Amino acid sequence: MVLYPILSKSQEKLNKLQAPTSPASSIIGMQPSSILSPKTYQALETAIYSNFLNENGNVIIPNNFALEFTPYWNFTKKDTLSLDEYLYPKKLTDQFVRNFSFSIASTQNFQLGDSSSTNALAFGFRTTLYFSNKQDRDTIEKYKHSLNTNKLIAGHVSSEAESLLINNKVKDKAEFIFKIKIKVVETINEIFPNASDVVKNQMIEEIVYETNKINLDLNNYTVFLNTFYNVIDQVLKGKETFEKFKKHIKNRPGLSVDLAYANFLNFPSNNFDFSFIPRQSFWLTPTYNFRYDFNFLKIMGVIRYEWYDIKYFKNYFLNSKIYENNLDYGFGISTQFDKFSIKIEVVGRESETEIPAGFDTEGNELFRRDKSSDIQYLGSFNYNLTDQIVLSYSVGNRFEPILNPTNTLVSLLSLNFGFGTPTENNIKFKN
């Protein structure tokens, strides 16, 4: 934990870590959120959940832990991945495999109906499917075309500059500027034939003006050439375009859908050979990331179906009312401002179960459907200590819990770490 902030800055990451929302930590009750935010490309994510203080106000070591692992970004040779394949896999199965992750969570404080603490392990699986659109593809192509054009111009002009100096074709800086201007004019007219004369002349004059400010030593022209290359890139706005391009890719605008499943094992006697699966969940979570002036905003929906092992709860939660099936549905809004982000969600719940309703005239037991409704609203405040470390605090009103049903207040602090995200060196941005 001490060394990681230093190591995490070694290369620029293509994905900033987001607040933890793994299927395993959700089903075991560590995190209250019903909406799973789309997972960023991380080979490994870990999270610890706690308020870090006990009832006496003393600092404690958290014992609630979650981990999420994405095999693809750990084992695949990412440097062979093209930009198009990274953003728009040709096959649906490619998306499924590349974004597939599994999660595990553990706690030593899963309380039964008699308030005794037991051990529990949760397991989750999920993947994300991205749906490309023409507008996004057109934007990507414009960026790629602009970068390739800049690369072509810079290549022609730089090659001429090297030839002039290496082969001693100029006697001083004035002659260099005179000859390189000819090449600049020829190249820009060739590559931008439809551009206005005003635009082309502005580019040419700016290159000449900035070059004239560089000192040239014909016996040691390396520094001059390096500075000249920077002038070309600055005038063509190559670096600025590339940064905008990367920002667009990081935001991943458009529609995506998360599919997830999770369950957990409880060990009521804290004996490994004696366990139950009390609860299982399936998520369908669509997310839309806005673009342009609203690229800081995304909206999310959720449909989650849960089913419970009624026999288990009748044995270990004697005085609690349990519904066999829950259907959750709702929406959330998330914002991202540099290092700070906020997520707000409102989710409704429809529950139902079968309960005994007596016997018929032949002695057969009868049942009837018992239904209930509930609502949950939460706010999460997240701060990126680095691109790969997130501190998150959640507060709000959760669904009525099985244990202590009047205790619906959420107040949770968590710390999340990400490892192994692809960097710009892993993706071929330019052709």
Q: What CATH architecture applies to the domain 4-136+245-428?
A: Beta Barrel (2.40)
Say what the pLDDT of residue 138 is.
86
CA distance linking residue 427 with residue 26, whole number of Å? 32
Element (H, E) at 109: strand 101-111
- Amino acid, res. 50: S
CA dihedral sign of residues 165, 171, 177, 180: negative
Say what the pLDDT of residue 220 is.
87
Q: Where are the alpha helices (DSSP H) in 192-283?
A: 197-212, 222-236, 238-251
CA distance linking residue 339 with residue 412, whole number of Å? 20
Q: Which two tokens stand for residue 262?
A: 């999770």
Say what the pLDDT of residue 17 is.
58
Give the pLDDT means over successive 10-residue stretches in the chain (431 positions): 38 57 83 77 66 48 73 65 75 84 87 88 91 83 86 90 91 92 91 87 91 89 90 86 78 87 93 91 93 84 94 87 92 88 94 72 66 92 85 90 82 79 57 50
Say what the pLDDT of residue 89 is.
78
What pTM, to 2 d.p., does this model score? Answer: 0.74
Say what the pLDDT of residue 244 is.
80
**Contacts for 185 with CB less than 8 Å, ≥ 6 apart:** 204
For residues 380 and 17, the answer to whether their CB atoms sit within 8 Å is no
Distance of CA 229 to the CA centre of its chain: 35
- Amino acid, res. 345: E
Residue 260 backbone dihedrals phi, psi, to 5 degrees = -150, 155
CA distance linking residue 33 with residue 51, whole number of Å? 16
Q: Radius of gyration (Cα) for the chain, nearest Å?
A: 29
Say what the pLDDT of residue 9 is.
42
Say what the pLDDT of residue 60 is.
45
Domain ranges of the chain: 4-136+245-428, 137-244
